[in-house]
Amino acid sequence: MIKANDPSLKSWIEVNPNCDFPIQNLPFGIFKTQSSSARVGVAIGDQVLDLAVLNKLGYFNNLKIGEAVFVNNFLNDLIALGKPTCSALRQRISDLLNETNAELRDNKEAREKALQYISNVQLLMPVKVGDYTDFYSSIDHATNVGTMFRDPANALLPNWKHLPVGYHGRASSIIVSGTNFLRPKGQTKPADVDSPVFGASKSLDFELEMAFIIGKPTSLGETISTAAADDYIFGLTLFNDWSARDIQTWEYVPLGPFLAKNFASTISPWVVTLEALEPFRTAGYEQTPKVLPYLEYTGNKNIDIYLEVAILPETGTETTICHSNYKYMYWTMEQQLAHHTSNGCNINIGDMMASGTISGPTPGSFGSMLELAWKGTKPLPLNDGTERKFINDNDTVIMRGYCQKEKVRIGFGEARGKVLPAL
């Protein structure tokens, strides 16, 4: 048996070298067709493999997984089976798709039932998110924001290098890629007026982030160490934490983001397992001063995920405006989870924790319009001849991400969202 991550693996399904979904990936998602209810699928090339069909046909008999797990609105029940079972399922799917395995390859009737082109299905929210936490863990982003709004010589607040700063966000407004949303409204206080006004945000922004999904629960009072954290992380998605900067500026003192962040966050529809991402681990930043013992870790915990952001106006072509990388995170997701539970906070399957804006060290790698256009002072030119300081009505923001090594590309698809005019 060849391990599912083996770079030499090839599938009998043709996969373009630039596709995010080779046989080494096999991300999980939820989809439906015009004739079927929501169900669990796995992406392979430009197709989705219907796991409910394969289970019904007996291909997973040895795994003893009930039908209800696969005919489901969310991945939560599958994730709840535990990493050993999910890993065994991923391995079985890999075996079935291996170019040397005739079980499914040579069964035309089963293939036709189990495979659909992704372009012909509707991709749904992959998980039911119970709780959502957003962190602030990119040192370049935090430095840029601190430089803009405070003293450049003291851009980072005193606690920043001692703990992964975070806040509890709103889970109900997390939406899947392709979902349009309305420009948010709220209170702002323009510099030239004495009192606040209420209306549509004039400074709508994106935030380039990754999010990890909890795959194992804890009880109230239980803590998770950095060494054990990976056991509790099922996989990752792209994450766009839309942000209304003008609303945020007025409201965030003293308790932080509220209406500026809770109106919409867009995720990619495919959950890439942590197992599939292991070959792309890399070293992170040297953390100085030394962190407290409960945040210490060993080994390479950052992940080399290339990220990009494009803006697509209502008419015209898209313009790529940002090239960044998840490896630029100062605080790792293992440290984030260890800190989150260090006070005994319990976590549940499907909980989502976002990285915070991911910015790199150069202007082209900044992960938000706030930084790219430097608070509106350096408008970004688009391919259609227009400029952007922030996001306009009817703009679509598209985030993409993938790992690349030994000719194997492990990707996440897209996190795409269109801003509609406020009502």
**What b-and-e string marks burial along 42-62, b requiring 16 or more CB atoms within 10 Å of the CB?**
bbbbebbbbbbbbbebebbee
Active site residues: 141
- Rg of the chain taking only CA atoms, in angstroms: 22
Among 176, 171, 180, 79, residue whose Cα is nearest residue 134: 171
Of 217, 174, 177, 211, the closest CA to residue 76 belongs to 217
Which two tokens mark 162?
Answer: 């001692």
CA 356 – CA 239 distance, rounded (Å): 9
Residue 61: its H or E element: none
Cα separations in angstroms, 341 against 103, 128, 230, 232 = 45, 21, 14, 12
Q: Please state the φ and ψ torsions of residue 115, each to the nearest 5 degrees.
A: -115, 135
Give me the count of residues in the chain: 423
Residues 243 and 207: beta-carbon distance below 8 Å: yes
Q: Cα-flanking dihedrals φ and ψ of residue 187, to 5°?
A: -80, 140
Q: Are 132 and 212 in contact (CB under 8 A)?
A: no
| Neighbouring-strand partners of residue 345 | none
Burial of 394 (0-12, 13-18, 19+ CB in 10 A): middle
Residue with tokens 């219907």: 50
